[in-house]
Amino acid sequence: MTIFGVALLAVCTLIGVLLGDLLGMALHVKSNVGGVGIAMILLILARAWLQKRGALSHPFKLGVEFWASLYIPIVVAMASIQNVAGAIKGGPVVVTAALGSVLLCWGVMALIGRFGRDEASEPHAARVLAGDPE
């Protein structure tokens, strides 16, 4: 069933690259802008959607998780070959995008922290941290 993980990864990658190319054209940049990151987000969303619908059998789930765990090192390797110095010389778009993405992530994490709490699980978490496993 690992092949289904490969198929899902391929579909997410193709859609991500297409959207990254379209975003690059919209920003008047002759490059793919965030296609690999978009593909990673699509893979996470697709896995969550399939799991919510009950469409993930155990072997299929293992295949998707296998490729999802390999995808992060692939993204790091692809990012390491980027020409950062050339991108920074290219204009303020890079700095604006970097600062904007960091601020957006901070804001989303703050919202998740504020509204994502489950009051029923907090006392249990406090007991676990105190050393009581039950």
pTM, two decimals, is 0.56
CA-CA distance, 4 to 101, in Å (whole number)? 32
Residue 15: its pLDDT value, please?
Answer: 93
Task: Give 87-91's long-range contacts (Cβ < 8 A, gap of 24+).
Answer: 90/29
DSSP symbol at 55: -
Mean pLDDT (whole number) for 8-37 = 85
Q: Between residues 121 and 3, which one has the greater pLDDT?
A: 3
Query: In degrees to the nearest 10, what's the CA dihedral of 33, 35, 36, 40?
Result: 130
Q: What is the pLDDT of residues 30-61, one digit of tens each?
A: 778 888 788 888 887 888 888 888 877 777 77
Task: Give 111-116's long-range contacts (Cβ < 8 A, gap of 24+).
Answer: none
